[in-house]
Structure 1
Amino acid sequence: MGWARHQVRLLLCAIQFLTRVPTPSLATFQPDWITRSARYFSLVGQGVGAICAVMLVLVERIWSAPVGAVLALAVGLLITGAFHEDGLADTADGLGGGQTPARRLEIMKDSRIGTYGVCALVLALALKGTVLATTRVETAALMLLAAHGLGRAAAVAVMRLTPYAPSGEAGKWKPVPDGVRTVETLVALLIALWPLAFLPLNAALAGLAGGGALAIGLALLARRLIGGHTGDVLGAVEQVFEVGFLLGAAALA
């Protein structure tokens, strides 16, 4: 019973960290719970994706596919407080505008958004919206559900496989000494995989290839330019995985 109660606490912690959804307060909160709750990041992502998918299907039946796509993206932004999109914008500004690792990290901490950040956000939202609007709505809904969970799992994998940027100060993401454990990463990945069973195999594989390529490329770029990941980089990884997955899956769905 104690183990199950702790897992519920970690799930609530993941919901509180990744979304704006009201949850019971955690009176006995411990500093490492956010890191330990990473195992449930993909499950929280699937919850967000499920709500977006329902919005997509309902609005498409009332109005049209483009309206459904826009509102599906909008409800996702509302639920998460644009948490990952903020990371994408900050990462684009920092990696694109800085000349040294220290300067790139300084730009990423700046709350103001620059040209690179605006362009990254517009491109990501436009690509996701266009894919959702031009794909059969039932398939698009499943793709959306899968993309949200897998995108969070990709961020957890980057947390496990790359170091925290050595000259960065803890911000959105505050690592603990032992970091995300291998078993926690595997749990997050396993949870993220089940929606793929409802997609055509070739579409699922193409989505994984597209999302994985963009996420790996961004993680390697961040490793080279700032020495590892930050909270903003993790948000950007989640976003580029979503874009790559939707593009890849839609190509063969």
Structure 2
Amino acid sequence: MRAFRAALTFLTRLPVGRLEAGDFARAPGWFAAAGLVIGAAGAGVWWLAAAIWPPVLAALAAVAAMLMITGALHEDGLADAFDGLGSGRPAERAMEIMRDSRIGSFGTLALALVLGARIAALVALGPLAPAAMIAGQGLSRAGMTLMLRRGPYLRAQGTGSGMTGPLGAGAWPLALAALAAAALTLWSGGWALAPALLGLVLAMLVLRGWAIRRLGGLTGDILGAAQVLGDLGFLLGWLAWP
């Protein structure tokens, strides 16, 4: 379970005890399981908030709780990725822009639109929102793991540089967590699972294609952005089911 704890350390601010550097190489296989934990925390806040507040405030509280748990790690990547990719500059300059801690206009707009769309989607899902949060957070991080391992990863010194090897034994926790998230979606929303998965895959593939075309590969910011957009694509796909 050290690899699972490493995944929680990497993706969240939850205290999980001391770890060794080698534990993080096995962490990606557990990213989806960590996503289920993050989604479950958001779902718990939604249930509590929905008992006393209107749906929009419950959704806002749930999203805020997940941002606090993760330290807005992937949302920061989303803003940086859009600042770099949207700059129109050559690849090297675009990557420098992504490393800049300051947020630009493209990043601000992307962050505001995506967070607003996420809250609106959760409000529209109503009582299905908790299941959608859990499943979306888990499956989008499974997709992030597959993107990381497929590469190409550009930064030799980046945060994901030590996690790009074969999954090995980490394939089974990834598969189990993804299957659990898919089963939860099927149980809650029936065949809404199909458009939800399609929305997730399309969002992540479009971003990956954009990054490879503009930069020649992937970075940690791109992977973070892919998780956020994949989760949003999952929610919007679920809502598209009649």
Asked whether the two chains share a fold, i.e. TM above 0.5, the reply is yes
Structure 2: unaligned runs, 5 residues or longer: none
Matched residue, 2:108: 118
Matched residue, 1:131: 121
Matched residue, 1:173: 160
Change (3 A) 1:215 1:182: farther
Question: 2-side partners of 1:241 and 1:186: how far apart?
Answer: 21
Matched residue, 2:4: 11
SS of match in other structure, 2:16 = coil
Match of 2:178 among 192, 195, 203: 192
1:217-232 aligned at under 5 Å gives the runs 217-232=206-221
Letter in 1 for 2:158: G
1:189-219, Cα deviation, whole Å (9 max, x unpaired): 4312313222333211111000100101111
Q: Percent identity?
A: 36
Aligned pair 1:233/2:222, yes or no?
Answer: yes
Question: 1-side partners of 2:90 and 2:171: how far apart?
Answer: 31
Q: Cα distance, 1:87 vs. partner?
A: 0.6
Higher alpha-carbon deviation: 187-196 or 103-112: 187-196
Question: 2-side partners of 1:144 and 1:79: how far apart?
Answer: 14
1:88-121, Cα deviation, whole Å (9 max, x unpaired): 1110001111421101111111110001111111
Matched residue, 2:14: 21
Letter in 2 for 1:161: R
Matched residue pairs, number?
Answer: 239
Aligned pair 1:211/2:200, yes or no?
Answer: yes
Contact kept in structure 2, 1:16 and 1:22, CA below 8 Å: yes
In the TM superposition, structure 1's runs of 4+ consecutive aligned residues that sit over 6 Å from their partners are: none
Structure 1: unaligned runs, 5 residues or longer: 1-7
SS of match in other structure, 2:102 = coil
Normalised by the length of structure 1, the TM-score is 0.89
Matched residue, 1:151: 140
Normalised by the length of structure 2, the TM-score is 0.93
Cα RMSD between the aligned structures?
Answer: 1.6
Change (3 A) 1:67 1:151: same
Higher alpha-carbon deviation: 146-155 or 197-206: 197-206
Q: Cα distance, 1:35 vs. partner?
A: 2.8
SS of match in other structure, 1:135 = helix
Q: Cα distance, 1:171 vs. partner?
A: 2.9
Question: 1-side partners of 2:156 and 2:118: how far apart?
Answer: 32
1:116-170, Cα deviation, whole Å (9 max, x unpaired): 1111111111111001112222x111001000001111110101222112xx352
Question: 1-side partners of 2:117 and 2:40: how far apart?
Answer: 20
Contact kept in structure 1, 2:138 and 2:178, CA below 8 Å: yes
Contact kept in structure 1, 2:148 and 2:160, CA below 8 Å: no
Question: 2-side partners of 1:140 and 1:157: how far apart?
Answer: 25
